[in-house]
């Protein structure tokens, strides 16, 4: 018997934090304009010991204004999508559940677009106006997961194949509506590939990062309080109840928080797919399926995956750029097929 201890959990998280740090360094270095890490390090050393007043202006522009915000966004979006995927997998008892596959990301996108459309017609303060998009995305995500949940039920039981099919169909239906809206309306709606494939290139105001960071911590924290309940929910709702889980409460908390995380990510980065599928799967293979480890390691793993995927998206066809969702889909879709076939076998 080797029950989980806090020490082992912290050790696993430290290893992943070091990997994340390495990926961030890579993401700073590579891009359309390569940055010399040696020169950057020397400058920072100088600043630290007051030998210089600041880092060279070329770096400041590129790193502080372009790459670092994008890395920060990648970390929050990746962690959010990965935690949302892990939660949906436990809640729906389906290891293939992912915000993108279930159509929840598309629903969040539609909600965000509708919020952007109505926003100019409401006389809101700039602060409230900025919050309207994530709110719309959250409502879109929550409505979609509710619809997909009922589509996936057969005779009162969730049927995992019907659920996935319902999600994929709902997703393509909502994508069609998004395309329709994009082609009939113009204005400040960002590009089509943003909503359908996901991008991290949109610059955001400084306050938005705070909102994203705090929103992530609150929602992921709420999900983490149910971590050991989720372990038991995997055995089925009836069994979980007999083992002492307040099933309706846990379901409500996780359902709202996971929809919120999806909405949060989609409102700033569009629909980046398969992160919530690939990352929890890899983390389960590495650290086991106990949600007390899985949730924090999946959050860190999601951050690593998205920052790395975005670095690839920026560099493989430089000076042009890929949508980061294209990179995650190239890895994620084959893995999805593989896992699906393994389950059906």
161 binds other proteins (CB under 8 A): no
Interface pick for other proteins out of 201, 202, 228, 315 (rule CB under 8 A)? 228
- Cα 118 to Cα 244: distance, rounded to the nearest angstrom: 45
Please, which residue, 4 or 62, has the CB nearer to other proteins?
A: 4
| Contact call for residue 106 and other proteins (CB under 8 A) | no
Q: Which of 235, 316 has the CB closer to other proteins?
A: 235
Is position 157 an interface residue for other proteins (rule: CB under 8 A)?
A: no
| 234 interacts with other proteins by CB under 8 A | yes
Give the per-residue contact string, 57-96, with other proteins (x = CB under 8 A; - = no): ------------------------------------x-x-
Q: Which is nearer to other proteins, 43 or 229 (CB)?
A: 229
Using CA atoms, how far residue 304 sits from 45, 75, 114, 263, 299, in Å, is 26, 7, 31, 20, 9
Minimum Å distance from CB 289 to other proteins? 4
Q: Kindly state whether residue 156 participates in binding other proteins, applying the rule CB under 8 A.
A: no
DSSP state of 31: S
291-315 vs 6-29: helix axis angle to the nearest 10? 10
Contacting residue, 35, 129, 165, 227, with other proteins by CB under 8 A? 227
Select the residue interacting with other proteins from 32, 179, 243, 330 (CB under 8 A): 243
Q: What is the 3-state secondary structure (H, E, C) of 126-142?
A: HHHHHHHHHHHHHHHHH
Pick from 225, 302, 223, 291: which is nearest to 260 by CA? 223
Shortest distance, position 56 Cβ to other proteins, whole Å: 46
CB 96 within 8 A of CB 340: yes
| 222 is a site residue for other proteins (CB under 8 A) | no
DSSP letter, residue 63: I
Measured distance between the N- and C-terminal CA atoms of the chain, rounded to whole angstroms = 31
For 342, the token pair is 């393994």
Q: How far is the CB of 232 from other proteins (least distance, A)?
A: 6
**Rounded distance between C-alpha atoms, residue 175 and residue 179, angstroms:** 6
Site string for other proteins, 278-297 (x = CB under 8 A): ------x----xx-x-----
- Could you tell me the smallest distance in angstroms from the CB atom of residue 31 to other proteins? 39
Of 36-44, 112-120, 186-194, 224-232, the window that binds other proteins (rule: CB under 8 A) is: 224-232
Q: According to CB under 8 A, which one of 55, 151, 168, 241 is a site residue for other proteins?
A: 241
Binding test (CB under 8 A) with other proteins, winner from 24, 137, 142, 232: 232
d(CA 275, CA 119): 30
At residue 251, φ and ψ (nearest 5 deg) are -60, -45
Please count the other Cβ atoms lying within 10 Å of the Cβ belonging to residue 345: 5
Which helix H or strand E contains 158, and what residues bound it?
strand 157-158
- Given the complex with other proteins, which of 161 and 228 has the nearer CB atom? 228
6 binds other proteins (CB under 8 A): yes
Inter-axis angle of helices 126-151 and 104-118, nearest 10: 150
Give the H/E segment covering residue 153.
strand 153-154
State which residue, 114 or 240, has the beta carbon closest to other proteins: 240
Query: Mapping DSSP to helix (H, G, I), strand (E, B) and coil, where does residue 157 land?
Result: strand
List 14, 128, 176, 239, residue binding other proteins (CB under 8 A): 239
Q: Please, is 168 exposed, middle or buried when counting C-beta atoms within 10 Å of its C-beta (0-12, 13-18, 19+)? A: middle
Residues that bind other proteins (CB under 8 A): 1-6, 93, 95, 224-229, 231-232, 234-236, 238-239, 241-247, 284, 289-290, 292
């Amino acid at each position: 018997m080797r029950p989980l201890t806090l020490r082992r959990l912290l050790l696993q998280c430290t290893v992943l934090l070091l990997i994340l740090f390495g990926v961030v360094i890579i993401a700073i270095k590579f891009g359309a304009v390569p940055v010399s890490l040696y020169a950057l390090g020397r400058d920072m050393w100088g600043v630290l010991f007051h030998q210089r007043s600041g880092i060279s202006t070329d770096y400041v522009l590129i790193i502080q204004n372009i790459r670092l915000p994008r890395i920060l966004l990648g970390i929050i979006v990746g962690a959010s999508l990965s935690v949302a995927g892990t939660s949906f997998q436990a809640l729906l008892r389906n290891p293939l559940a992912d915000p993108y596959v279930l159509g929840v990301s598309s629903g969040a996108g539609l909600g965000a677009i509708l919020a952007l459309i109505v926003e100019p017609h409401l006389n809101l303060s700039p602060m409230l106006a900025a919050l309207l998009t994530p709110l719309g995305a959250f409502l879109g995500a929550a409505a979609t997961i509710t619809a997909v949940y009922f589509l996936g039920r057969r005779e009162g039981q969730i049927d995992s194949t019907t659920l996935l099919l319902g999600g994929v169909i709902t997703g393509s239906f909502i994508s069609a509506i998004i395309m329709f809206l994009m082609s009939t309306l113009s204005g400040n709606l960002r590009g089509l590939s943003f909503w359908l494939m996901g991008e991290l290139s949109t610059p955001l105001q400084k306050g938005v990062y705070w909102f994203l960071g705090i929103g992530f911590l609150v929602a992921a924290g709420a999900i983490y309080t149910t971590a050991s309940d989720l372990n038991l929910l995997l055995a089925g709702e009836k069994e979980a109840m007999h083992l002492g889980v307040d099933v309706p409460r846990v379901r409500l908390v996780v359902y709202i928080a996971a929809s919120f995380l999806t909405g949060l990510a989609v409102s700033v980065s569009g629909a980046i797919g398969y992160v919530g599928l690939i990352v929890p799967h890899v983390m389960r293979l590495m650290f086991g399926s106990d949600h007390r480890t899985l949730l924090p390691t999946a959050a860190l793993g999601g951050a690593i995956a998205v920052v790395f995927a975005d670095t690839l998206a920026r560099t493989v066809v430089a000076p042009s750029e890929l949508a980061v969702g294209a990179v995650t889909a190239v890895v994620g879709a084959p893995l999805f097929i593989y896992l699906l076939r393994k389950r059906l076998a």
